[in-house]
Amino acid sequence: MPATSFSCSFLALQPRFNSYVNPIFRSLTFQLYSSPLPFNAHFSSIRLRCSLSRPAETNSTTGGRSGALTPGPTVGGDVQKIDVNPPKGTRDFPPEDMRLRNWLFNHFKEVSRLYGFEEVDYPVLESEALFTRKAGEEIKDQLYCFEDRGNRRVALRPELTPSLARLVIQKGKSVSLPIKWFTVGQCWRYERMTRGRRREHYQWNMDIIGVPGVMAEAELISSVVTLFKRIGITESDVGFKVSSRKVLQEVLNCYSVPEYLFGKVCVIIDKIEKIPVDEIKKELKAVGLSQEAVQKLLHVLSVKSLAELEERLGSSGEALADLKLLFSLAEKIGFSKWLQFDASVVRGLAYYTGIVFEGFDREGKLRAICGGGRYDNLFSTFGADDIAACGFGFGDAVIVELLKEKGLLPELNLHIDNIVCALDEDLQGCAAMVANILREKGHSVELVLESKPLKWVFKRAARVNAERLVLVGNSEWQRGVVGVKILSTAEQYEVKLDDLK
C-alpha cells in the first residue's frame, strides 16, 4: 500500500511553546496511508495514523544524527521550483559585488594593520545568553535565536563585542594588556529594513582592552578617519557626533534616579532622532523618572557645545574633563574638524559607560555609518573582573551607500595577467603546461579549456581585461616557443618556454 509521510519538528518553535512539550515527544510524524484509488473516488479505504516518536537518534556508526525531516512529496513527478532570491534582508555576492566587498575589507584590514591591531574572529553561532544579559535593549527582540538539537539556546551573533569579551575572559592572563584586536565579521539582526540597514551585514570592529585613558578613544576615532581618507571621504562629507554617558549619569544623579535605570534610560534616549519628543517623554516617565528630571535631562541633551555643557553641569565633572581632553587630542592628531559635540548621543547598547561617538553623513540622508565608545563594565556582566575597554563597529552597508551617493565607488573590473589558448585541440595539454609555468611564477592565468576560434578568444581576453595572450601553435611548439601578444599595444613576439616570464 503506497504511503506518503512527512515529519515536523517543534525544536525551532518559540521557547514558551516548547515548555509545554515533553522533549521525548518533540518529533511528531503523520503517515497517510491510502489505497491506489484515484482522489475523486470514495475515501472509505483511507485511514490516518498519527504516531508520537522520540527525536532522531544519533547514528552510532558515523557519529552523525539522522535527519528529522523527510522530503515533501512531488506532485505528478514535477519538482517544485525554488525561490531564486536570497531570504529577505540578506544578500548574494556575485563577482562584481564580491570585488567591491574585498576592496572595502582590504581597507579595513590595512588600516587596522597601520594602527598595530591583530586580527581575530569568533563563531557566527553563539550562546543566546551572551546577548541577553542586559535588560531593555532593542537587540534582544532582534535576535535570530533557536534551540539546537542538544536543547541549547543559541543565536546568530547580532554584534561582535560580547564575543570579544568572552574570548578575552577565556584567554585570561595568557594575553598581556593592552589588547588591540580587530575583526571583520558577519552579523544578524531581525529588524526593519531601511536604506543601508539589512538583516545580515558585515562589520569591522576595532577594540582596545586595558587602557583607561581617553587616548584609546582618540586612537580609535583616528583610525576611522584614516579609513575615510583612504576611500575618498572628507570632513565635509562625514563627521563624528561625540558625547559621554557620564553626562547622562550626572543629570540622573541630581534627581536620585536609581543606577539600575541607567541602561533603560540610555536605550530610550538613543531613539531621540527616531521618534517624537513626546514619545520620549512618555517612555522616560514610564521607567520611573519624574517630570522635573525628564525636563532637565532633555534640556541638557539639547546642548551642542562643550562651553554650554560646562554652563549647565559645572566644570568639575568627569564627563566634561574627558570630552575636553578628547577634543584637545583631536586637535594635536589632526582630526578635530571631523568632531562635533552632541549631548544627545548615547548609543543604544546598555554596556557603554563613558565617551560615545557616531559617524554620520553631513547631508543627513543615511543612518549612522559607525559607532562606538567606552564599555568599562561589560566584563562583570559575564562574571569576570571588569577591564577598561573601548571599541567601535563599522558596517559595510551604509558606507557603500555613501560612496554611491558621492560618486566614489571604485571601478573594480576583473583583471587577468594572461590568457592562454591552444590553436589545435591536440595541444590542449601543452597549453595547460604553459599556464602552469606562468602560475608558478605568480601570474594569474585563464586557460581556454575548449577548442575555440580566435575571435572568441579575443573577446574573452577583452572581457577579463587580460594583459597578454599566449598562443600555443603546432609549428611554434615544435621549435620550443610560444606566441605572445601584448593586448594593449598589439605587440607580438615569440618566447622560448624557458624564458617565459
Q: Which residues are known binding-site members?
A: 159-161, 189, 203, 207, 347, 351-352
The residue type at 425: E
Placement of cell 479505504 in the chain: 45
Angle formed by the axes of helices 318-333 and 245-254, nearest 10°: 160
Q: What are phi and psi of 58, to 5 degrees?
A: -70, 135
Question: Kind of pairing, strands 47-53 and 491-496?
Answer: unpaired
Q: Which of 327, 350, 266, 336 is nearest to 301 (CA)?
A: 266
Q: Cα(424)–Cα(430) distance, rounded to whole angstroms?
A: 10
Q: What are phi and psi of 363, to 5 degrees?
A: -80, -10
Tell me if the bond preceding 73 is cis, omega within 30° of 0.
Answer: no
Number of Cα atoms under 13 Å in the Cβ half of residue 7: 19
Cα–Cα separations (whole angstroms), residue 6 to 27, 36, 50, 479: 11, 19, 11, 67
Question: Kind of pairing, strands 200-209 and 153-156?
Answer: unpaired
Cβ 382 vs Cβ 166: under 8 Å: yes
Indicate the annotated binding residues for L-histidine. Answer: 159-161, 189, 203, 207, 347, 351-352
Q: What angle do CA 91, 95, 101 make, to 5 degrees?
A: 60
Q: Cα(143)–Cα(190) distance, rounded to whole angstroms?
A: 6
243, containing H or E segment: strand 238-244
Q: What are phi and psi of 3, to 5 degrees?
A: -135, 145
Cβ 209 vs Cβ 388: under 8 Å: yes
Q: Cα(315)–Cα(327) distance, rounded to whole angstroms?
A: 16
Q: Cα(161)–Cα(378) distance, rounded to whole angstroms?
A: 9
Cα–Cα separations (whole angstroms), residue 356 to 309, 341, 373, 374, 390: 16, 10, 4, 7, 9
Cβ 157 vs Cβ 367: under 8 Å: no
Residue 437 CB neighbour total at 10 angstroms: 18
Cα–Cα separations (whole angstroms), residue 488 to 414, 422, 462, 474, 491: 16, 21, 10, 25, 8
Q: Which of 366, 380, 362, 327 is nearest to 237 (CA)?
A: 362
Placement of cell 540597514 in the chain: 197
Cell output for 292: 522635573
